[in-house]
């Protein structure tokens, strides 16, 4: 019989995996909203509701910060807006599993560059091989523009990681994230309204948008914070590398998106590369997608 101490990490692992699952379920719901309000509308609703929740929870103080602090948090907000916009534009064109697999190359690149070991290039080559397989019919025909958007989301995720760390140096607790999320919402909301019009404020659409924000942002982030109290950073980082596989399963079950054995191999290669790069870089946990 497992001792209470040995059972705790298992529960924390469940929290991380559960958070990833909720995140991808939220992304699947977002795809279902695309026909009604498009990617821009979904992004504006997700960031808007996420900002409201974070502001209510953290109640950030706006006084006492200099120009450098505000420049950092505003840049962080732009990164959040750009990352979400690019990711959802990718989801509108390519399957969820493919989009997430390509997107995680952003934090993987950060891990590779942070490592001083020669083995880092091995992980980079393995990741590249996985992405090449994605283009060989593993998910069916991948829309080239969707792939470009997914790579863009990965690049902005890398920027998100760096700006998140800098924001944490200037703002306590969740204050910086709440302010940055509000900046991102203010950036995207006018475009969302301009693109969708009054449809954005229909009760059913608002309810689904709130669900996307709750599932994709609030609950996963809370689960991850609870898990990090018990899990080593290395274990957390490795578990986060499972996102492409979980996204593919969500796309298959909820959206009916198919993939082949080649697709499974491609995802496996990217996961292996992510794990190897994280361990090579010293096991610093990647920033979560829950934004």
What does the pLDDT look like over 82-133, one tens digit per residue? Answer: 999 999 999 999 988 888 888 887 777 766 676 667 776 787 788 778 777 7
Indicate the DSSP class of residue 87. Answer: H
As a whole number, mean pLDDT of residues 18-38 equals 91
CA 145 vs CA 22, 89, 91, 152: distances in Å: 27, 9, 11, 10
pLDDT digits (tens, 9 = 90+) for 173-193: 788 888 999 999 999 999 999
| pLDDT for the residue numbered 82 | 94
**140 has which bridge partners?**
138
What percent of the chain has a predicted confidence (pLDDT) above 70?
85
* Closest alpha carbon to 108 in 231, 200, 197, 237: 237
The Cα–Cα gap between 64 and 168 comes to: 15
Q: Of the candidates 216, 193, 196, which has an alpha carbon nearest to the alpha carbon of residue 291? A: 216
Q: Measured in whole angstroms, how far is the alpha carbon of residue 289 from the centre of its chain?
A: 2
Q: Give the tokens for residue 244.
A: 């492409």
Q: What secondary structure does DSSP assign to 104-155, as a single string? A: THHHHHHHHHH--STTHHHHHHHHHHHHHHHTTTBTBPPPHHHHHHHHHHHH
Provide the whole-model pTM: 0.82
Which among 227, 208, 82, 88 is positioned nearest to 155, based on CA atoms? 82
* Mean of per-residue pLDDT scores for the chain: 82
Tokens describing residue 285: 């946990």
Query: Over the stretch 236-265, which tens digit does the pLDDT of each residue have?
Result: 777 777 888 888 888 888 888 877 777 788
* CA 165 to mean position of chain CA atoms: 16
């Amino acid at each position: 019989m497992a001792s209470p101490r040995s059972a705790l990490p298992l529960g924390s692992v469940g929290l991380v995996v559960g958070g990833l699952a909720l995140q991808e379920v939220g992304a699947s719901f977002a795809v279902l909203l695309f026909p009604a309000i498009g990617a821009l509308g979904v992004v504006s609703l997700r960031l808007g509701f996420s900002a409201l929740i974070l502001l209510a929870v953290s109640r950030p103080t706006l006084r006492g910060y200099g120009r450098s602090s505000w420049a950092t948090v505003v840049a962080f907000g732009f990164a959040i807006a750009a990352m979400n916009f690019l990711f959802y534009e990718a989801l509108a064109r390519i399957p969820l599993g493919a989009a997430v697999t390509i997107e995680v190359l952003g934090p993987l690149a950060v891990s590779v560059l942070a490592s001083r070991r020669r083995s880092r290039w091995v992980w980079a080559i393995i990741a590249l091989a996985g992405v090449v397989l994605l283009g060989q019919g593993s998910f069916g025909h991948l829309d080239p523009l969707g792939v470009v958007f997914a790579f863009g989301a990965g690049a902005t995720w890398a920027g998100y990681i760096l700006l998140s760390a800098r924001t944490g140096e200037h703002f306590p607790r969740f204050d910086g994230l709440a302010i940055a999320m509000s900046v991102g919402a203010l950036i995207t909301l006018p475009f969302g309204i301009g693109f969708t019009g009054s449809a954005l404020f229909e009760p059913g659409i608002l309810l689904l948008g709130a669900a996307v924000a709750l599932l994709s942002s609030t609950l996963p982030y809370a689960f991850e914070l609870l898990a990090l109290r018990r899990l080593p950073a290395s274990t957390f980082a490795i578990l986060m590398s499972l996102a492409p596989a979980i996204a593919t399963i969500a796309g298959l079950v909820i959206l009916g998106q198919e993939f082949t054995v080649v697709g499974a191999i491609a995802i496996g290669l990217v996961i292996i590369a992510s794990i190897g790069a994280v361990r090579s870089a010293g096991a610093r946990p990647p920033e979560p997608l829950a934004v």
